A = this chain, B = another copy of it.
Amino acid sequence: MSGRLAVVGLGPGDARWLTREAEAAIAAAAALYGYGPYLDRVPSRPGQARHPSDNREEAARAAAALRHAAEGASVAVVSGGDPGVFAMAAAVCAEIEAGPQAWRTLDVVIVPGVTAMLAVAARAGAPLGHDFCALSLSDNLKPWELIERRLDAAAGVGFVIALYNPISRARPWQLGAAFERLRQRLPASTPVMFGRAVGRPDENVVVTTLEGADPATADMATLIIVGSSETRAIARPGRAPLVYTPRAVQGASA
């Protein structure tokens, strides 16, 4: 069996953050699978089949792509951002583990991409310049109480925090609760960045403080970065402030 499955990160936004490897992996595939809006970002090629699916169908999409690859085809699953960060690569691995033994013999290649927090950080300055964590705020797949413990721990030891999946229609209150929680452990002046649709024409980046952070600023296309107590905003005339977290912790010798 010569089937091949590539799980390809497109980066956030438009094609500017596509890597050469991702372009090559997409071009080489006989069939593409993915969430519809991500597939729409990939130019079509004659003879290449396209199988769009809905946002919440990761497991079914992964299984369909694996079945197709197991027939001997070269298949690519496209993913926004990096496929390994809260995205399709883990869904594909889970299906391989649960599926027929033959799936374990497939050639599986993960093609990394620029994940959303890196693109939002780049727009703001360098808020991830020191130790940080990435946390999905969705309590669909884990208990909310665990998310609270992770927020407390991260803020308590000085990790900058990138929040993925901050809000949705089905999860309207969680982001506000997270900000409240963080306000108990971090200074009111801590920089907070909302990056919406970064790299797309409707991109919007808002830099505020933890005190001023309004959950209504976020939607499903938003990635949020909450600084640590070390994160700083440099005022610039006529420009947005430049937010960064110094590499050195204050008081440490260089």
Task: Kindly provide the distance from the CB of A228 to the nearest chain B CB, expressed in whole angstroms.
Answer: 11
Contact across chains for A93 and B254 when beta carbons are under 8 A apart: no
Cα separation A91 to B125 with both chains bound (whole Å): 11
Please give me the 9 A-B residue pairs with the lowest Cβ-Cβ distance, nearest first. A90-B129, A93-B244, A89-B126, A133-B133, A110-B122, A141-B248, A142-B249, A90-B126, A16-B21
Work out how many copies of this chain go into the complex: 2
**In the complex, A31 has a CB within 8 A of chain B:** no
**In the complex, A186 has a CB within 8 A of chain B:** no
Task: Kindly provide the distance from the CB of A133 to the nearest chain B CB, expressed in whole angstroms.
Answer: 4
Given the known A-B contacts A18-B20, A84-B121, A112-B17, are A154 and B142 also in contact in the complex, defined by CB atoms under 8 Å? no
Contact across chains for A131 and B141 when beta carbons are under 8 A apart: no
Cross-chain contact of A141 among B58, B236, B252 (Cβ < 8 A): B252
Task: Kindly provide the distance from the CB of A163 to the nearest chain B CB, expressed in whole angstroms.
Answer: 10
**In the complex, A73 has a CB within 8 A of chain B:** no
Please indicate the chain B residues that have their CB under 8 angstroms from the CB of A19 in the complex.
Answer: 11, 16-19, 114
21 contacts between A and B (CB under 8 A): A17-B20, A17-B21, A86-B247, A87-B129, A96-B234, A97-B232, A104-B237, A104-B239, A110-B123, A112-B121, A115-B118, A131-B133, A131-B134, A131-B135, A131-B136, A131-B150, A133-B134, A140-B254, A141-B254, A143-B249, A149-B157
**In the complex, A130 has a CB within 8 A of chain B:** yes
CB-CB contacts below 8 Å: A91-139 with B: 91-94, 96-97, 104-105, 108, 110-115, 118-119, 121-123, 125-136
